[in-house]
Structures are given as C-alpha cells and as structure tokens.
Chain A
Amino acid sequence: GDSVTQMEGPVTLSEEAFLTINCTYTATGYPSLFWYVQYPGEGLQLLLKATKADDKGSNKGFEATYRKETTSFHLEKGSVQVSDSAVYFCALRIRTQGGSEKLVFGKGTKLTVNP
C-alpha cells in the first residue's frame, strides 16, 4: 500500500548547520508530496509542497524536490536556526477509488537546533 518512510531522529544540529531529512515514498500513480512542521504545543503547519515530478517546493529557506526516479522528497535547509526546532513530517496525498482523498504521513523527525 501507499507509505512514507522518513529518516528517524532525533536530529541535533548547531545553529547555521546544513540540514537534510530524508523521505522516500511508495505509491501507485503520482501523488502530491508535502512537508508539514509541528512546533512544540502547536498543530501541523504546511511547510512546502510539490505536485509533480521535478517540482521544487520551497518556504522559509527549506527546499524539497520531487524525484520520481528515486521516489524521494528530501527536505533541506542550508543554515538552520534555533527557531527551526520542531518535528517534521513528510506526507503524500492520495486519491482513493471512492473519490475521496487522504494524507499518508511518515513517523516524523524531531529536529533540535542548539545555539
């Protein structure tokens, strides 16, 4: 079935370090791909998205490219800040045969950035 596998955490970095969080997926067809972020005590917020192969989503210095050949959507940021400390979720959006839709999430990767 459809699934998302993302890099297990926790990940601890120093401020200004480079960040990569790996995400690969298994899906039939061509799903849309998302990264969501969950700050402590808050709900999920959409960080970025990509809807087709080779699309690059970007927001707040984060980027991810939809790679169909490797079924991947890795999240990157060139220079992390303490305020980026959060849990990051990779997700794919699929349509079901019944005409509905849903998001399938990875388990999440907790990022801690130290000053």
Chain B
Amino acid sequence: DTGVSQNPRHKITKRGQNVTFRCDPISEHNRLYWYRQTLGQGPEFLTYFQNEAQLEKSRLLSDRFSAERPKGSFSTLEIQRTEQGDSAMYLCASSYPTTGKYEQYFGPGTRLTVT
C-alpha cells in the first residue's frame, strides 16, 4: 500500500475564493472519510463515502462545502466562497472493512489558510 495521499499539502487563498482538495485513498479501500482539524483541537468528522455514495454529512459541512467521489476511488472536497473560519487542516482517511482491519488510515492533510 502506498498510503493515503492528499493534494495540495498547503493552500493559501483569499477570502471569497473557491478551493478544491483531492484525496487518493489506499487502493481497494471502499470507505473514505473527510475530517477537519483546527489548531489545538482533535479532528472533527465532515463526511463519509462508501464507494461512490455519500452516506453521511456532518452539520459542520455547510452548503458552501461539497464533496464527491465520482468513481469510488479518489475524492474531492470543494469549499466555495472561503471564509477565514475555514482555515484548518483537512484530513482524509480510508478503510476497508475486512475482519479485524476496520481502522482508518489517514493522509498527511491539506493545510488551508484563508487570508
């Protein structure tokens, strides 16, 4: 396994701009998760995909946020009209529910700074 990868690793944008992040899960992992981590806090769940279906969205995911996983492989997270409060680390994780191997593996994250 090559691990979960995320791009870009860092993104600086001006308030009001749109940004898109990409997550490539571990191959054959059919479950994919997005979390947000702000400074000094633990990650908070945003959304969950099983294959291409988005099965759960947190209340944290306002209508400015949208996530897709079009072919059940990579996923994108888009934030429209960014606000300074969106500054955070966005983490992606994947898992494959075989017996005893349900743990989530995390990518390195994309750090977003909104100026």
Contact = CB atoms under 8 A, between A and B. Distances in A.
Interface stretch (A63-71, A74-82, A94-102): A94-102
The interface size bin for chain A is 20 to 34
A101 B32 CA distance: 10
Contacts of A27: none
B41 A43 contact: no
A111 to B, nearest CB: 15
Given A91-B42, A102-B48, A105-B42, A43 B108 contact: yes
A38 to B, nearest CB: 9
A3 to B, nearest CB: 11
Given A34-B103, A43-B107, A49-B103, A105 B43 contact: yes
B48 A101 contact: yes
B91 A43 contact: yes
Given A43-B108, A103-B104, A98 B55 contact: yes
A45 interface: yes
A100 B104 contact: no
B42 A107 contact: yes
